[in-house]
């Protein structure tokens, strides 16, 4: 089934064998290093998906992968799960009777087994090592690798022997995995397992040197330029949703004295390569790209990743911002986000040729991302929490650095809901705001909306205020895009409850954005 040409064999295995669409953070770089023949020390939290980091490469590489694990029960579980997925996995261990172990070895020796799970003391016998030396070993994975370190609290004598592996199988990539290893333990593991040749260290999800920030989209060109100028002379990546926009934005930056290049899949291969090379080799180049750019890009001194549009999911966002600050220096991830982004993403999902269940799941994932954008909590906490990692407030995100005030907006929300309801739940934010502000636009007059009870009902506030509130009502599930897909707003069940006065509505007061905008206008 895997004979068809594939752009990315590991992604294909992920999908075909394990049924997952996306890699979890950290997985792809680990796999890439192993497939390129390098050793990896992966320190990732429990639940991060460490097993797939070697299971996928094992299947991509073929041959035999040895997996060392200290616990028999764990090995049995893994082998059973792999077999369910149709993967030829075996274990040889002390809890099996002799016959079962002999049968397993026969499959291994016949080249039928892809993954063989062994306890370290089984693996490190001379007999086993000699027998394995005659086979085609592609990869060695060492689970719970901290057990090899005398610094750690879980030192196991039988793990110590594993330090001979890199000498016995000098050409075989080794991955050591653990959920807990401080710096001293990491150095110790690398020294023992890889003879000091640590080629790649992949840490868990947190990237504390990347400052996280999100801003309401007002004038994306100006906002981008302001941001880029604050990082003048540094390299950065700017992600845009469309190919056309990457070219427009790059040209706009160029006009303003910034060295910027575009990158998208619609460009010729030569042009793409030239731009990528310039970005990799020169410093201070801004790459304005679609998500086609980034796979396998390992430039350590990328100072920022700027999203001019909301990304596809929280996983995608995490992966994309992870390209900043690999050198450990201060870096920044900044996103612009507006109502249009939510609408666009919903349309993408609805237009997909997929099952209702798939769409429902995609909408739910989008809700998670919107929740991240709208949260007043520490962003890192929300982001890490999504991947199952608990963390204290980080002190390095906009919400931590600049506490966002909240206020009761129940009355204002009800004014919006009234205007939406009275105009038939068919119009977008711009028109609803025209009604609230009492603007006699052509569209308003053509529909006789100047006669609505809510016409002019919102003159106490400015347009930006209403836009922000509408966005937050959409994000909070009070308003939803109308099902016809024309960008109109409809009232969701939660919105009706709010309208009836059954639930209150709290909103985020966006003083920062108003202040920033005021400055721009007067400039
Ligand atoms: P760890 O060993 O790091 O604690 P596991 O390898 O047991 O984590 O994986 C934890 C869970 O995450 C498993 O249920 C696994 O199927 C799931 N998982 C791993 N990778 C992915 C992925 N790319 N997409 C979705 N689920 C994944
Ligand atoms: Zn924070």
Report pLDDT digits (tens) over 281-312: 999 999 999 998 986 676 878 999 999 999 98
- The verdict on the CB of residue 26 being under 6 Å from ligand 1 is no
* Cα distance between residue 165 and residue 158, in whole Å: 13
* Cα distance between residue 334 and residue 307, in whole Å: 6
Q: Please identify, by atom number, the ligand 1 atom nearest to the C-alpha of residue 21.
A: 24
- The verdict on the CB of residue 44 being under 6 Å from ligand 1 is yes
Q: Please identify, by atom number, the ligand 1 atom nearest to the C-alpha of residue 48.
A: 3
Q: In this prediction, does ipTM exceed 0.90?
A: yes
More confident residue, 305 or 22: 305
- The verdict on the CB of residue 229 being under 6 Å from ligand 1 is no
What confidence tier does 19 reach under pLDDT thresholds 50, 70, 90?
A: very high
- The verdict on the CB of residue 50 being under 6 Å from ligand 1 is yes
| Helix H or strand E segment including 6 | none
Mean pLDDT of the residues in the chain: 88
Instruction: Compute the distance from residue 465 Cα to the ligand 1 centre, in Å.
Output: 42
More confident residue, 3 or 32: 32
* Cα distance between residue 354 and residue 514, in whole Å: 40
Query: Residue 82 pLDDT more than 60?
Result: yes
Instruction: Compute the distance from residue 366 Cα to the ligand 2 centre, in Å.
Output: 21
* Cα distance between residue 11 and residue 22, in whole Å: 8
What confidence tier does 80 reach under pLDDT thresholds 50, 70, 90?
A: very high
> To 10 degrees, the CA torsion angle through 514, 212, 296, 19?
-100
* Cα distance between residue 466 and residue 461, in whole Å: 7
Terminal alpha carbon distance of the chain: 61
- The two tokens of residue 126 are 């001379």
More confident residue, 80 or 319: 80
- pTM value is 0.59
DSSP assignment of 270-287 = HHHHHHHHHHHHSSSPEE
Atom 15 of ligand 1, nearest CA residue:
49
Instruction: Compute the distance from residue 81 Cα to the ligand 1 centre, in Å.
Output: 12
Minimum-distance ligand to the CA of 42?
1
Q: Please identify, by atom number, the ligand 1 atom nearest to the C-alpha of residue 46.
A: 4
What confidence tier does 274 reach under pLDDT thresholds 50, 70, 90?
A: very high
What confidence tier does 451 reach under pLDDT thresholds 50, 70, 90?
A: very high
* Cα distance between residue 48 and residue 26, in whole Å: 9
∠ CA 23-344-462, nearest 5°, is 125
Q: Measured on CA atoms in the order 369, 373, 376, 382, is the torsion positive or negative?
A: positive
């Amino acid at each position: 089934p895997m004979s068809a040409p594939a752009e990315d064999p590991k992604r294909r295995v992920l999908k075909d064998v394990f049924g997952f669409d996306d890699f979890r953070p950290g997985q792809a770089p680990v796999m890439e290093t192993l497939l390129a023949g390098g050793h990896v020390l992966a320190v990732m939290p429990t639940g991060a998906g460490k097993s797939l980091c070697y299971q996928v490469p094992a299947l991509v590489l073929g041959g035999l992968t040895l997996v060392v694990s200290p616990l028999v029960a764990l090995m049995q579980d893994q082998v059973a799960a792999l077999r369910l997925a149709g993967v030829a996995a075996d274990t040889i261990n002390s809890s099996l009777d002799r016959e079962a172990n002999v049968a397993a070895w026969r499959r291994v020796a016949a080249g039928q087994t892809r993954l063989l799970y062994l306890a370290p003391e089984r693996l490190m016998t001379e007999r086993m090592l000699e027998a394995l030396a005659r086979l085609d070993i592609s990869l060695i994975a060492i689970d719970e690798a901290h057990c090899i370190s005398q610094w750690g609290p879980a030192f196991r004598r039988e793990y110590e022997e594993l330090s001979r592996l890199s000498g016995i199988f000098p050409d075989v990539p080794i991955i050591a995995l653990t959920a807990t290893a401080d710096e001293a333990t990491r150095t110790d593991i690398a020294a023992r397992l890889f003879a000091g040749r640590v080629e790649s260290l992949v840490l868990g999800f947190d990237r504390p040197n990347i400052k996280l920030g999100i801003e309401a989209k007002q004038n994306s060109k100006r906002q981008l330029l302001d941001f880029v100028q604050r990082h003048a002379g540094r390299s950065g990546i700017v992600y845009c949703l469309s190919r056309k926009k990457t070219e427009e934005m790059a040209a706009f930056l160029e006009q303003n004295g910034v060295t910027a290049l575009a990158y998208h899949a619609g460009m010729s291969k030569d042009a793409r390569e030239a731009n990528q090379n310039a970005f990799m080799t020169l410093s201070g180049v801004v790459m304005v790209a679609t998500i086609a750019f980034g796979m396998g890009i390992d430039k350590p001194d990328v100072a920022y990743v700027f999203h001019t549009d909301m990304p596809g999911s929280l996983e995608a966002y995490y992966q994309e911002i992870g390209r900043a600050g690999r050198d450990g220096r201060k870096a920044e991830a900044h996103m612009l986000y507006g109502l249009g982004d939510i609408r666009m993403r919903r349309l993408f999902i609805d237009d997909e040729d997929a099952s209702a269940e798939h769409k429902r799941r995609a909408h739910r994932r989008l809700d998670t991302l919107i929740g991240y954008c709208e949260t007043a909590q520490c962003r890192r906490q929300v982001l890490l929490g999504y991947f199952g990692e608990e963390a204290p407030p980080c002190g390095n995100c906009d919400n931590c650095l600049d506490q966002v005030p909240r206020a009761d907006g129940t009355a204002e929300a009800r004014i919006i809901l009234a205007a939406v309801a009275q105009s038939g739940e068919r119009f977008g934010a711009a028109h609803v705001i025209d009604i609230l502000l009492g603007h006699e636009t052509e569209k308003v007059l053509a529909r006789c909306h100047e006669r609505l009870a809510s016409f002019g009902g919102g003159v106490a506030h400015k347009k930006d205020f209403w836009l922000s509130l509408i966005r937050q009502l959409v994000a909070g599930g009070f308003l939803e895009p109308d099902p016809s897909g024309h960008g109109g707003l409809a009232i969701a069940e939660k919105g009706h409850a709010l309208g009836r006065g059954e639930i209150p509505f709290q909103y985020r007061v966006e003083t920062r954005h108003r202040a920033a905008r005021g400055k721009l206008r007067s400039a």
